[in-house]
Chain A
Amino acid sequence: MTTDPPATASASAPSRARRVARWLHARPRTQLRLLLALPLLWLVVVYLGSLAILLLNAFWTSDPFTGRVNPFDWSLGAFVQIIGNDVYRTIAIRTIGMAALVTVTDALLAFPIAYYMARVASPRVRRLLVVAVLMPLWASYLVKIFAWRTILQGNGVLSWVLSPFGIDGPGTDELMNSWLVFTYLWLPYMILPIYAGLERVPTSLLEASADLGGRAGTTFRRVVLPLVFPALVAGSIFTFSLTLGDYIVPDLVSDAKFIGNVIFDNSALGEFPVAAAYSMLPILIVVLYLVLARRLGAFESL
């Protein structure tokens, strides 16, 4: 068990490969270190290292003319700039509110179809439905946004449908377009975990509830929902976290800025300290969300 056993084993003299194997066999700790060396090197140095440099940048200054960051020139300027400006607060509230709204909408839309797939459809129809839900999930993210743009724009499908009623189409500037498109994009991520969760609910429990006099509504509220709740939270991790960091959708179908836009725009302008400082907000929110989700048992149903 090391990085590239087959090639080295056949290339070098078999006796030597065997000797190495025997030597390793007696040293499980060394085996473990060899296994972990490369993945840890990458994740710790490349990934955590980058996050650390991002954190440092939040406390550095950048040259206003060249946009170059002056390393080790410590300052809280970026944080002061963010806290002192109401726009940043408005954008944060807007983004978090949108992430919550999208999560709730997706949960409401996902439940009926997931329930139908898990408990009503025949096995053949169920398989077809799983494929039908997977297909749009695999379709390109950007292509789906582009498709919505063509539907929403001034002379698009939606205007055409609405025009007999004397209503104009929404165009591509409305904030609520983001709600529609986010809901669309992440819906399959909510359907699949809830479907898996519902499939694990034993029918006997529902029958028991009915036998004990529970009406359909009561059974749903007191038996189905508690059992599926962790799966719902699992799905919400996707819908919430993906909305929180997205900067393409708001840019393409609305004129409202989200947290992701602030980070992207500032980084494009060379304002790395501000972008880095503002990045701490979604990191904090997602980490808190993950801790909460873990408490609610979401990780067992992923």
Chain B
Amino acid sequence: MVESTWVRIGLRLATWLILGFLYLPLIVLGIFAFNESRFMAWPPPGFTLHWFGEALANPAIPRAFLNSILAALAAVAIALVLGTLAAMAVQRFAFFGRDSINFLVVLPIALPGVITGIALSTTFQTLGIRFGLMTIIIGHATFCIVIAYNNVIARLRRLPRSPEEASADLGADTWITFRRITMPGMRTALLSGALLAFALSFDEVIVTLFTAGAGTQTIPIWILSAIQRPTELPVVNVVALVLVLLSVIPVYIAQRISGETAGVPR
């Protein structure tokens, strides 16, 4: 160990403080979900499960959940197909403009979401396309492609080509080799890419606000509109707690898949 004892004690202290900073808001949120009062004043006067019932009785919430899930599933499906195709092309072929493809795939996530949002919204408007679930999916798929692409290309780099060549030598055609050799090799990369993309899409609000139009609410859009209505705040709190608890699932699966650090959603 190069670090002195004092440095290590200081670092440990700092680590705990920063973890406290990261978790404090989530803990406050969890407490307020059981708040007896309909006002969000600290400390809560007492505790109740009343707001959970109210959240269940609100038809807008399951509708928004359903929209979010549908949009995420469709966006992930598109992103997986497009991202995988692009990754295979870039990883396996040398061609003019290969670097530009890399850049092009990353661009939708490198540029601020507000740019992607306004660009798509202006285009839909200019072309007279009706806003709705479809336009949400187009937006989400665009910035999810990079997630699938990054996961697949990282995996393809590590996968040896020799099993594919052996498969071809043994008489398997391209399709059989893909199905039996390449696909199983990429499976976990596709799964973690899908997971990441799903989480990103499910949570997205900056692009979605531009592409949703007036009639379609995803869960983040429902939260955003409900935050502006003081009477709905206790129910928002319940939904917020449920969302925080749901976010344990992707972290758990990602840890199981990789065993190491999970990828970073952006």
Mark A residues whose CB is within 8 Å of B.
1-3, 5-6, 8-9, 17-18, 21-22, 24-25, 28, 31-32, 35-36, 38-40, 42-44, 46-51, 53-54, 57, 69, 71, 109, 112-113, 115-117, 119-120, 129-144, 146-151, 153, 155-157, 159-160, 184, 187-189, 192, 196, 203, 206-207, 210, 216, 219, 237-238, 241-242, 244-248, 252, 259-260, 263-264, 267, 272, 275-276, 279, 282-283, 286, 290
Contacts and interface: CB of A to CB of B under 8 A. Distances in A.
Interface of B: 2-4, 7-8, 10-12, 14-15, 18-19, 21-26, 28-29, 32, 39-43, 78, 81-83, 85-86, 88-89, 92-93, 95, 101, 104-105, 107-108, 110-123, 125-126, 138, 141-142, 145, 173-176, 178-179, 182-183, 199, 203, 205-206, 209-210, 220, 223-224, 227, 236-237, 240, 243-244, 247-248, 250-251, 254-255, 261-262, 264-266
12 contacts: A25-B174, A42-B82, A54-B122, A115-B11, A130-B261, A132-B19, A144-B26, A150-B29, A155-B42, A245-B114, A246-B112, A272-B122
Contacts of A279: 114-115, 118-119
Chain B binding surface, main DSSP class: helix
Contact of A17 (B12, B86, B122, B173): B173
Which of B23, B145, B251 counts the most chain A CB atoms within 10 A?
B251
A206 B4 CA distance: 12
Chain A binding surface, main DSSP class: helix
Given A9-B179, A120-B12, A140-B203, A160 B122 contact: no
Contacts of A263: 114-115, 118
Given A149-B227, A157-B28, A50 B265 contact: no
Given A9-B179, A53-B119, A132-B19, 20 more contacts: A2-B174, A28-B93, A32-B89, A35-B88, A40-B104, A49-B123, A50-B116, A53-B122, A54-B118, A113-B15, A130-B262, A134-B261, A140-B240, A142-B203, A142-B220, A147-B29, A189-B266, A245-B111, A276-B118, A282-B111
